[in-house]
Structure 1
Amino acid sequence: MTVVPFPADKWTWESARGLSRAVRVSPHVEAGLLTVSFWRDDRCAGTVRLTPTEAASLVGRLTAALAGLAEPRGIPTTGEAPLVERLAQVEQRLRILEEGAPPPPA
Protein backbone atom coordinates (compact mmCIF):
# COMPACT_ATOMS: atom_id res chain seq x y z
CA MET A 1 0.00 0.00 0.00
CA THR A 2 1.33 3.45 -0.91
CA VAL A 3 0.59 6.32 1.44
CA VAL A 4 0.12 9.61 -0.37
CA PRO A 5 0.74 12.68 1.81
CA PHE A 6 -2.15 15.12 2.12
CA PRO A 7 -1.41 18.24 0.03
CA ALA A 8 -0.16 21.24 2.03
CA ASP A 9 -2.84 23.54 0.61
CA LYS A 10 -5.72 21.46 2.03
CA TRP A 11 -6.94 21.20 5.61
CA THR A 12 -8.77 18.39 7.38
CA TRP A 13 -10.65 18.31 10.69
CA GLU A 14 -11.84 14.99 12.04
CA SER A 15 -14.99 14.85 14.12
CA ALA A 16 -14.59 14.58 17.88
CA ARG A 17 -17.49 12.10 17.71
CA GLY A 18 -15.33 9.72 15.75
CA LEU A 19 -17.12 7.45 13.32
CA SER A 20 -14.49 8.37 10.71
CA ARG A 21 -16.14 11.70 9.90
CA ALA A 22 -14.14 14.66 8.66
CA VAL A 23 -14.38 18.05 7.01
CA ARG A 24 -11.85 18.99 4.35
CA VAL A 25 -11.18 22.43 2.93
CA SER A 26 -9.46 22.81 -0.44
CA PRO A 27 -8.75 26.10 -2.20
CA HIS A 28 -9.09 26.03 -5.98
CA VAL A 29 -7.19 29.12 -7.04
CA GLU A 30 -7.70 28.50 -10.75
CA ALA A 31 -11.49 28.57 -10.29
CA GLY A 32 -11.53 31.21 -7.57
CA LEU A 33 -13.44 28.87 -5.25
CA LEU A 34 -13.01 27.16 -1.90
CA THR A 35 -14.34 23.61 -1.59
CA VAL A 36 -15.64 22.34 1.74
CA SER A 37 -16.24 18.61 1.63
CA PHE A 38 -17.71 16.21 4.16
CA TRP A 39 -16.16 12.76 4.47
CA ARG A 40 -17.14 9.49 6.05
CA ASP A 41 -14.34 6.97 6.13
CA ASP A 42 -12.54 7.41 2.79
CA ARG A 43 -15.61 8.55 0.83
CA CYS A 44 -16.81 12.05 0.11
CA ALA A 45 -20.40 12.40 1.36
CA GLY A 46 -20.96 15.93 0.12
CA THR A 47 -19.28 19.04 -1.23
CA VAL A 48 -19.96 22.76 -1.15
CA ARG A 49 -18.04 25.13 -3.42
CA LEU A 50 -17.88 28.67 -2.00
CA THR A 51 -16.95 31.95 -3.62
CA PRO A 52 -14.59 34.17 -1.61
CA THR A 53 -17.59 36.25 -0.49
CA GLU A 54 -19.48 33.15 0.67
CA ALA A 55 -16.39 31.81 2.46
CA ALA A 56 -15.92 35.16 4.23
CA SER A 57 -19.57 35.05 5.33
CA LEU A 58 -19.08 31.52 6.66
CA VAL A 59 -15.99 32.61 8.61
CA GLY A 60 -17.94 35.55 10.06
CA ARG A 61 -20.77 33.30 11.17
CA LEU A 62 -18.36 30.77 12.66
CA THR A 63 -16.65 33.59 14.56
CA ALA A 64 -19.98 34.81 15.91
CA ALA A 65 -20.91 31.27 16.95
CA LEU A 66 -17.59 30.85 18.76
CA ALA A 67 -18.09 34.14 20.57
CA GLY A 68 -21.51 32.91 21.67
CA LEU A 69 -19.99 29.69 22.99
CA ALA A 70 -17.32 31.57 24.92
CA GLU A 71 -19.66 33.90 26.83
CA PRO A 72 -21.47 31.25 28.92
CA ARG A 73 -18.13 29.81 30.05
CA GLY A 74 -16.95 33.10 31.46
CA ILE A 75 -14.43 33.77 28.71
CA PRO A 76 -14.38 37.52 28.13
CA THR A 77 -15.39 38.48 24.60
CA THR A 78 -15.14 42.23 25.09
CA GLY A 79 -12.30 44.49 26.02
CA GLU A 80 -9.70 45.62 23.57
CA ALA A 81 -6.52 44.85 25.56
CA PRO A 82 -6.87 41.04 25.72
CA LEU A 83 -7.82 40.88 22.03
CA VAL A 84 -4.88 43.03 20.97
CA GLU A 85 -2.51 40.83 22.98
CA ARG A 86 -3.97 37.63 21.50
CA LEU A 87 -3.77 39.06 17.98
CA ALA A 88 -0.11 39.97 18.52
CA GLN A 89 0.60 36.38 19.64
CA VAL A 90 -1.13 34.95 16.56
CA GLU A 91 0.77 37.31 14.25
CA GLN A 92 4.06 36.30 15.88
CA ARG A 93 3.30 32.61 15.33
CA LEU A 94 2.37 33.29 11.69
CA ARG A 95 5.64 35.15 11.11
CA ILE A 96 7.57 32.22 12.55
CA LEU A 97 5.69 29.77 10.33
CA GLU A 98 6.22 31.93 7.23
CA GLU A 99 9.96 31.99 7.94
CA GLY A 100 9.97 28.19 8.06
CA ALA A 101 11.14 27.90 11.66
CA PRO A 102 9.27 25.68 14.08
CA PRO A 103 7.02 27.61 16.46
CA PRO A 104 8.18 28.07 20.05
CA PRO A 105 6.71 25.67 22.62
CA ALA A 106 3.37 26.80 24.04
Structure 2
Amino acid sequence: MGRIVALPARGEVFADSRGGGRVLRASWHHEDGVVVLSLWRDQVCTGTVRVAADDVPALIAALTDGLAQGYAPGVAGLERSG
Protein backbone atom coordinates (compact mmCIF):
# COMPACT_ATOMS: atom_id res chain seq x y z
CA MET A 1 0.00 0.00 0.00
CA GLY A 2 1.24 3.49 -0.86
CA ARG A 3 2.21 6.16 1.61
CA ILE A 4 -0.66 8.45 2.68
CA VAL A 5 0.27 12.12 2.47
CA ALA A 6 -1.67 14.75 4.40
CA LEU A 7 -3.57 17.32 2.36
CA PRO A 8 -1.49 20.49 2.09
CA ALA A 9 -2.77 23.62 3.84
CA ARG A 10 -3.59 25.11 0.41
CA GLY A 11 -6.33 22.70 -0.55
CA GLU A 12 -10.00 21.80 -0.48
CA VAL A 13 -11.98 18.58 -0.22
CA PHE A 14 -15.22 17.99 -2.16
CA ALA A 15 -17.53 15.08 -1.37
CA ASP A 16 -18.80 12.89 -4.20
CA SER A 17 -22.61 13.00 -4.43
CA ARG A 18 -22.64 9.18 -4.54
CA GLY A 19 -21.14 8.91 -1.07
CA GLY A 20 -19.21 5.76 -0.26
CA GLY A 21 -16.20 7.62 1.13
CA ARG A 22 -15.41 9.18 -2.28
CA VAL A 23 -13.91 12.68 -2.38
CA LEU A 24 -12.04 14.97 -4.73
CA ARG A 25 -9.10 16.80 -3.22
CA ALA A 26 -7.74 19.92 -4.87
CA SER A 27 -4.35 21.05 -3.60
CA TRP A 28 -2.09 23.84 -4.80
CA HIS A 29 1.61 23.20 -5.26
CA HIS A 30 2.87 26.67 -6.11
CA GLU A 31 6.49 25.57 -6.01
CA ASP A 32 5.75 23.21 -8.93
CA GLY A 33 3.28 25.51 -10.71
CA VAL A 34 0.42 23.00 -10.55
CA VAL A 35 -2.83 22.20 -8.83
CA VAL A 36 -3.27 18.51 -8.08
CA LEU A 37 -6.74 17.01 -8.35
CA SER A 38 -6.84 13.66 -6.61
CA LEU A 39 -9.60 11.08 -6.25
CA TRP A 40 -9.92 9.34 -2.91
CA ARG A 41 -12.01 6.52 -1.54
CA ASP A 42 -11.86 6.55 2.23
CA GLN A 43 -8.13 7.01 2.94
CA VAL A 44 -6.83 5.60 -0.35
CA CYS A 45 -5.82 7.79 -3.30
CA THR A 46 -7.13 6.17 -6.48
CA GLY A 47 -5.84 8.67 -9.05
CA THR A 48 -4.39 12.12 -9.63
CA VAL A 49 -4.20 14.80 -12.31
CA ARG A 50 -1.64 17.60 -12.20
CA VAL A 51 -3.09 20.69 -13.90
CA ALA A 52 -0.60 23.41 -14.87
CA ALA A 53 -1.37 26.71 -13.13
CA ASP A 54 -1.70 28.36 -16.56
CA ASP A 55 -4.54 25.92 -17.42
CA VAL A 56 -6.53 26.43 -14.21
CA PRO A 57 -8.46 29.52 -15.46
CA ALA A 58 -9.73 27.50 -18.45
CA LEU A 59 -10.78 24.66 -16.11
CA ILE A 60 -12.63 27.12 -13.88
CA ALA A 61 -14.30 28.72 -16.91
CA ALA A 62 -15.43 25.30 -18.17
CA LEU A 63 -16.94 24.42 -14.79
CA THR A 64 -18.61 27.83 -14.49
CA ASP A 65 -20.01 27.70 -18.03
CA GLY A 66 -21.34 24.18 -17.52
CA LEU A 67 -23.01 25.15 -14.27
CA ALA A 68 -24.58 28.26 -15.82
CA GLN A 69 -25.88 26.30 -18.82
CA GLY A 70 -27.36 23.63 -16.58
CA TYR A 71 -29.51 26.18 -14.80
CA ALA A 72 -30.53 28.22 -17.84
CA PRO A 73 -34.29 28.64 -18.26
CA GLY A 74 -35.81 25.93 -20.44
CA VAL A 75 -33.07 23.32 -19.95
CA ALA A 76 -34.69 19.88 -20.18
CA GLY A 77 -34.55 17.65 -17.14
CA LEU A 78 -33.89 20.37 -14.58
CA GLU A 79 -36.64 21.76 -12.43
CA ARG A 80 -36.33 24.22 -9.61
CA SER A 81 -38.61 24.13 -6.63
CA GLY A 82 -39.50 27.45 -5.10
Taking structure 1 as the reference length, what is the TM-score of the superposition?
Answer: 0.59
- Would you tell me which structure has more helix in proportion to its own residues? 1
Structure whose CA Rg is larger: 1
- Aligned alpha-carbon RMSD (Å): 2.1
Deviation at 1:10, TM superposition (A): 1.1
Matched, 1:32 2:30: no
- Would you tell me which structure has more strand in proportion to its own residues? 2
Q: Which residue of 2 aligns with 1:79?
A: none
Q: Which residue of 2 aligns with 1:22?
A: 23
Aligned residues: 71
CA distance in structure 2 between the partners assigned to 1:43 and 1:57 by the alignment: 29
Stretches of structure 2 lacking an aligned partner (at least 5 in a row): 1-5
Give CA-to-partner distance per residue, 1:37-90, whole Å, 9 cap, x none. Answer: 011111111000011122111111101100111113588xxxxxxxxxxxxxxx
Identity level (%):
34
Q: Which residue of 2 aligns with 1:91?
A: none
Q: Which has the higher contact order (CA 8 A, sep 6+)?
A: 2
Taking structure 2 as the reference length, what is the TM-score of the superposition?
Answer: 0.75
Q: Which residue of 1 aligns with 2:65?
A: 64
Give CA-to-partner distance per residue, 1:80-101, whole Å, 9 cap, x none. Answer: xxxxxxxxxxxxxxxxxxxxxx
Stretches of structure 1 lacking an aligned partner (at least 5 in a row): 76-106
Structure 1's consecutive aligned runs of 4 or more residues displaced over 4 angstroms after TM superposition are none
CA distance in structure 1 between the partners assigned to 2:54 and 2:61 by the alignment: 11
